[in-house]
Each structure stands twice: as structure tokens, then as C-alpha cells.
Amino acid sequence: MQTLKGDMAAEPLAVPNSSVRLWSISAILMLCVVLAFFDKISIAVLFSDTAFQNAMGIGSDKTLLGWLMTSFLLAYGFSSIFLSFLGDLINPKKCLVACILMWGLLMAAMGFADSYAEMLFLRVLLGIAEGPLFALAYTIVKQCYQPHQIARASTMFLLGTPVGAAIGFPVTAYVLANHGWQSTFFVMAAFTLVVVMVVISGLRNVQLKTGAQLNAGKRRLGMSEHLANCRLLFSAPAFWAVCLFNTALLTYLWGLNGWLPSYLIEAKGINLKEFGTLSSLPFVAMLIGEVAGAFLSDKTGKRAAQVFGGLLLAGLAMAAVPQINDPLLAILAMSVSAMSWGFGVASVFALLSRVSPDNVSATAGGVFNGFGNFAGAAAPVIMGYIVTSSGNFDNGIMFLVIIAVIGSLVLLPLLKKY
């Protein structure tokens, strides 16, 4: 009987013997996540651009601007939950390439959008296309690496989150300042072509399997058997606790990504040229936290304690930001918060691996990521509403603090076992 700890595939994956080639798999997945984050966050830089606001016909309405991020995240969460199972039934490499090609087409189309409704619609389609990414990356990592390597391997692709933000914000700001808002989308579409070629070339010798093949040799699992395996997964309280925790984790992330540019420019008085450099600092700190956290997680095996402590400290450090008037000190406090978040998130997929069976890994990853992004999707709009109704950007930041502290407490029952 399949247990919640899961059994590693009896037949090992035929991956290159070279350790460089082996770890290049996670590096390629990281590049995909970097590209996806470029696509996600580029819109946030445009929230303070008058030309973009006028082209969309919405002025500076922060609630409508927030919906451009939230609509993407809602579609992303829906797709992650209801489409990620394809990675258990179809070769995950083929799914990955198809998804990335769709991203490029949609980003190019956004450059030609001339109304708010059209941009909103394209953001929804982009969310659907990007939804399966983390589940696909997770199931590829689970096939290619040993249990003691999973935290480091998954962290390598998770590094795409801070790297994508650290590079994406200043690149978008530069293109915006010199070439206009339409060009920001065309540049992202061009990056997509490069990434597709890297994925096809870099993974061509990696023989991936579907979840069905891992569970039953060469026999293809039927939908009824797949649903039976899912029922085992969905009956586990530990799995749902991790999913609930992830909602707080991603609410923090999307609230920060959605409003960081506007917050620094409007609340802290940083101009667009300065923003291009300073906006990278919290995400560089996040990257450092993820790298350090990955090595500690694989060394100690204390997955639950690490992700619990990381999010709790992230919330407490963020609480200091509204109290600081100096922009550089505020960014420093924000960087400490982001580093703590990264330290915790480095172990979250390894924790998910502990509480989910291997034969439904893509489904588990999809539900985990999907529910988190459904909740996280509300953050940009809620923060936009809070800021608009109160007239104070700091109140939006305090919303993230509350979510982070409360969300971390969800994992208290798992600290001893996991």
C-alpha cells in the first residue's frame, strides 16, 4: 500500500553520471522560473507609469491596477490545481516546453494591447499557461534526485523566484525608462525564445517518466486508479497543513512583488532610476536565504521547523519597515525580511515531499501551489484597497506582517514529526 512518505521509484532515472550534468537539470528549471517571474512581475513596474495607465484608460486607480496581478494569480492557481495532473499522465518535459512557448506568444500579444479589458484577458491566459510550472519542476526534481538532495535541487529552481525579481525589476525599469511600456513585453517575449532552446537542448538526454509509469512500470494508470491515489493524498491532515501554510507564504510573496515598486517610489520617495538598483536588494537577500536554507535543510532534516521559523521572522522583520523613514534603512529591513522568507521556503518542497506520495507528485505539487496562489492572488487587490481607502501605503505592508505571523503558526503541530 502506498504510504504518505512515498516510495522512490524502483527503476532509477537514466540521468547523466556527471554531477555537473545532473545539477544542470535544476539549473535549467531555475531558468524557467526566472523567465516566469519576469513575466509575472513586469506588470508591477508599470503600475506607476502614467503612459501605461493612460493607455489602459484607468488612471492611477490602485484597485484596478491590483487586479492585473490578481487576475493572473487566480488563473495561475486554478491552472495549477486542475491542469498540473497532466504531469502525472503525460511526459513532464513535453508539458514544460509547450507551456513556455505559450508564455512567449502571450507576452508578445500584451505589447499590442490597447485597453484594460484586453490586458486583463491576456493576464488571465498567461496565468493559465504558467500554472503547471512549479508542479512540473517539482516532479522532475523528484525523479532526478535522491531524497537527501531534494531540498538543494528544489531550491535551485526556487532560486528563480528571487533571481527573477532581482533581475526583472531593474531590467523592466530600464526598458520602460528608455523605450516605453510596450517594449517591456516584447523583451520578455524575446527571452522566452532563448529559454525554450535551452530547455530542449539541456534536457534532451534526460529520460523522464509520467507518474503512472513510476507507479506501475510501463503500464499506464487509468484515471480511476489515479483518483484513488489522490484520495489517499487528500485524506492526510499534514498535507493540508502544508498547503495552508503555503497560502501565507505566497500571500507574502505576491504582496511584496505586486506593490514593492509603487511602495518604494510613492511611500519612500525613491525615483525610477534609483529604484532599478535598490529594488534588487531584498531579492538578492532572499536568494542568499534560500541557498543557506537549502544546505541547512538537507543537513538537519528539520523541514517543518525551518519553514515555520523563516516565515515568522519574515513577518517580524517586515513590521519594522513602516516605522523607518530613511529609504535605505527601510530597504535593509525589507531585505532581512526577504532573507528570512527565503531561508524558510528553501525547505518547503522537501517538506511537501515528506507528506505526499510519489505517484501523485505532480498533483500534490499542483494543489499545493494552486491553493497557495489562489490565496496569494488576493494580496495585490487587498493591499490596493487598503492603501486606497486609508490613504496610507504602510497599512498595506502591515497586512503582510499579519498574514506571515499567523500563517507560520499553522505548522506548529508538524514541528516534532517533520
384 in a structural domain:
yes
Structural domain span for residue 300: 19-206+226-414
> How far are the Cα atoms of 108, 109, 186, 347 from residue 105, in angstroms, in the given order?
5, 6, 10, 33
d(CA 38, CA 372): 20
Q: Place 202 in a pLDDT band, splitting at 50, 70 and 90.
A: confident
Q: How does DSSP classify residue 221?
A: P
Weakest-pLDDT range from 180-184, 300-304, 397-401: 300-304
Computed over every residue of the chain, the mean pLDDT equals 80
Count: domains in the chain: 1
- Asked if residue 213 belongs to a domain, the reply is no
Residue 71, in any domain of the structure: yes
Percent of the chain with pLDDT strictly greater than 90: 19
In a domain, residue 7? The reply is: no
How high is the pLDDT of residue 1?
34
Q: What is the Cα–Cα distance from 342 to 250, expressed in whole angstroms?
A: 12
The DSSP call for residue 189 is: H
pLDDT given for residue 173 in this prediction: 83
Q: Band of the pLDDT at 65, cuts 50, 70, 90?
A: confident
pLDDT at 9: 39
* pLDDT for the residue numbered 209: 65
* Most confident of the ranges 151-165, 189-203, 220-234, 376-390: 189-203
Name the least confident of 215-219, 242-246, 248-252: 215-219
For residue 139, being part of any structural domain is answered with: yes
At how many degrees (to 10) do helices 237-262 and 160-179 cross?
Answer: 20
Q: Answer yes or no: is 125 within a domain.
A: yes
**Which residue reads 535598490 in cell numbers?**
278
Number of H-type helices and E-type strands within the chain: 20, 0
Decide: 289 and 338 in contact? Cβ < 8 Å.
yes
Q: Tell me, yes or no, whether 152 lies in a domain.
A: yes
> Among the listed ranges 79-83, 268-272, 335-339, 377-381, which one has the minimum average pLDDT value?
268-272
pLDDT value of residue 403: 92
Predicted TM-score of the model (pTM): 0.67
Within-domain flag for 59 = yes
Matching residue, cell 536554507: 293
For the domain that residue 409 is a member of, what is the CATH number? 1.20.1250.20
At 37-61, the pLDDT tens digits run 888 777 888 887 889 989 998 877 7
Question: 107 falls in which pLDDT band (50, 70, 90)?
Answer: very high
Q: What is the pLDDT of residue 213?
A: 59
What distances in angstroms separate CA 81 from CA 76, 86, 128, 372, one per listed residue? 9, 11, 10, 10
> What distance lies between CA 248 and its chain's CA centroid?
13
pLDDT at 331 over 90: no
Local structure of residue 113 (DSSP, 8 states): -
Backbone angle region of 15, left / alpha / beta, with phi > 0 → left and psi within -120 to 50 → alpha = beta
Closest CA to 255 of 185, 318, 300: 318
Taking alpha carbons only, the member of 291, 339, 12, 247 closest to residue 146 is 12
Task: State how far the Cα of 42 lies from the Cα of 174, in Å rounded to an integer.
Answer: 11
Check residue 269 and give its pLDDT: 77
> What letters, b where the CB count within 10 A reaches 16 and e where it falls short, cover 316-354?
bbbbbbbeeeeeeebbbbbbbbbbbbbbbbbbbbbbbbb
Please check the confidence at residue 20 and state whether its pLDDT lies above 80: no
DSSP string, 135-187: HHHHHHHHHHS-GGGHHHHHHHHHTHHHHHHHHHHHHHHHHHHHH-HHHHHHH
32 or 238: whose pLDDT is higher? Answer: 32
Q: Is the separation of the CB atoms in 247 and 376 below 8 Å?
A: yes
Average pLDDT for residues 249-268, to the nearest whole number?
Answer: 82
Higher-confidence residue of 268 and 87: namely: 268
- CA gap 90, 80 in Å, rounded: 15
Burial class (CB in 10 A: 0-12, 13-18, 19+), 12: exposed
Kind plus residue range of the DSSP H or E element containing 17:
none
CA angle 203, 27, 170 (to 5 degrees): 125
Inter-helix orientation angle 19-45/160-179, to 10°: 40
Residue 11 has pLDDT above 50, yes or no: no
Taking the C-alpha atoms of residue 126 and residue 267, their distance in angstroms, rounded to an integer, is: 30
- Three-state DSSP state, 20: helix
pLDDT at 382 over 70: yes
Lowest mean pLDDT among 1-10, 130-139, 147-156: 1-10
Q: What is the mean pLDDT of residues 395-403?
A: 91
Burial pattern 189-224, b for ≥16 Cβ within 10 A else e, equals bebbeebbebbeebbeebebbbbbbbbeeeeebeee
Judged by average pLDDT, the poorest of 131-140, 219-228, 316-325, 357-366 is 219-228
Beta-carbon count within 10 A of 274 CB: 15
Local confidence band at 356 (pLDDT 50, 70, 90 cut-offs): confident
